[in-house]
Amino acid sequence: MKIASILENQKIEKRIAITPEIAKKYISLGLEVSLSENYGSHLGIKDEEYIKLGASILKDEKEIITNTNILVQLTLLDEDKSSLLKENQSFIGVFNPYDNKDKISNLVKKNINIFSLELLPRITRAQSMDILSSQANLAGYKAVVESFANFEKAIPMMMTAAGTIPAAKVLVVGAGVAGLQAIATAKRMGAIVFATDVRMASKEQVESLGGKFLTVEGTENLETEGGYAKEASDDFKKKQEELLSETLKKIDIVICTALIPGKKAPLIIKEDMINNMQSSSIIYDLAAIQGGNTAYTKVDEVINKNGVKIMGESNILNKLPTSASNLYAKNVFNFVSNLYDKENKKININLDDEIIEKTLIK
């Protein structure tokens, strides 16, 4: 059995799916590992590191794709490369099936086993494979670091003989994995942190990290069985707007993390709210790629509205590619280990296994 990975389009994605540590684990599992030339060189990983562990480095990506049983990537291949995939091959990655229906449908018709890991169920057994959580953790951290780097004032309170500098006030919108990490990071750096979320279960988590949870009067618990946020009612949105409008007037930095799986990101911070914010404030919108949580968010642009900077990147994890790759590769290895029948040396697509059934696109 062979497992392989080729280099992603570097303009879009700098993460890799197989690190040297994980290549060694695949080989221990009984799999042959094939990678494209200079696979990890942009992360400071030389081909020789993989070769010493027993992996093969090949120049011809076509040969890699056509001869492997399992191909692991971050994103979908371009059309020329995906056309090389054959019946019964397994293709594993983060494929955003809601936005890539046609491309994925064409692969399914060829009887290729496509596993999209963002569809993993929120169950205990799947935690070690949970790519959304591992990557969101890093994204929440990096969003705070990027925001603070662009904020032209000190973050913690500083008492000096010349006077006192007040601590920066940070608002985190959405207290999922990314939001909670943003709260923890901002608190560690000395900020006063507020947070809001449609899921009432988040209140205790926010407060345990030292944040102040902003509660909308008459709050509904808008949480799905899988632990994700669901869309709020019009009445809730109106009350949330009123609370946010007042809060944002005294906030220095906003980190937006609110997402609804498979849908456009909810518009939470509107034009009039931004117009009333303090000049020199920062908004970092982690939901930019799905439309953004603010009225002015544009992907990979810094928008300046009355002195308020609104930032949002297509892939913030490209700024932490080594750490993100290490976690992603481990998540994928755990998924493959569950999929691979070591005794019979074959892929076992057991649809009675919730992990396999939920992630397999049919």
Distance CA 279, CA 309 (A): 9
For the chain, what is the largest distance between any 2 Cα atoms, rounded to a whole number of angstroms?
74
* Annotated catalytic residue 127: yes
Catalytic residue among 41, 56, 105, 127: 127
- Is residue 139 within 8 Å of 327, Cβ to Cβ? no
- CA–CA dist 63, 57 (Å, integer): 11
Catalytic residue among 47, 228, 337, 353: 228
Instruction: Please tell me which residue in 47, 122, 323, 337 is annotated as part of the active site.
Output: 122
78 flagged as catalytic: no
* C-beta neighbour count of 187 within 10 angstroms: 16
Given 5, 34, 73, 133, the catalytic residue: 133
* Options 26, 39, 89, 130, the catalytic residue: 130
Given the DSSP bridges, would you call strands 113-116 and 158-160 parallel, antiparallel or unpaired? Answer: unpaired
Distance CA 305, CA 299 (A): 16
> Which ranges in the chain belong to alpha helices (H)?
20-29, 47-53, 61-67, 79-82, 101-109, 131-150, 177-188, 202-208, 234-248, 271-275, 321-339, 354-359
Residue 130 annotated in active site: yes
Residue 32 tokens, joined: 């042959």
Q: How far apart, in whole angstroms, are the C-alpha atoms of residue 266 and residue 43?
A: 35
Nearest to 301 by CA among 292, 291, 311, 309: 311
Q: Which residues belong to the active site?
A: 122, 127, 130, 133, 228
